[in-house]
Each structure stands twice: as C-alpha cells, then as structure tokens.
Amino acid sequence: MYFTDRGIEELEQRRGEEEVTLAWLADRMRAFVDNNPEFETPVERFATFLARDDDEIDE
C-alpha cells in the first residue's frame, strides 16, 4: 500500500456515497493549489491524467 492510499481511502469513506461534478472537482483542485502552491505540478499532472484517461498514457 502506498502512503497516498490512506488519503484515497479517507476520501472514499467520507464522500463515497456523494455524487460530484467535474466542475466541483476542478474547483477543489484549484483551491488546493491556491493554498499549497508547491503542489501545482503534481496537481496539474493528475488533472492531465484524468483528462486523458481514455487516451494512451505515456509511461
């Protein structure tokens, strides 16, 4: 298990029954980067990964 799995599991446990829009997710990601600018690059990479989920992923 990766360290990040704990946060993912907490997200699923706390919000697993909710339905959210991609606009809501994008807003939350922007707010996170505003409060934590040092994470701008990883958040940008994650957003790109999500946006291109159906495309071939470069490894």
d(CA 34, CA 48): 18
pTM, rounded to two decimals? 0.74
Q: Both ends of the chain: CA-CA distance in Å?
A: 21
Choose among 55, 54, 39, 41: nearest CA to 7: 39
**pLDDT tens sequence across 26-45:** 999 999 999 999 999 999 99
| For the chain, percent of residues with pLDDT exceeding 70 | 85
Domain ranges of the chain: 19-59
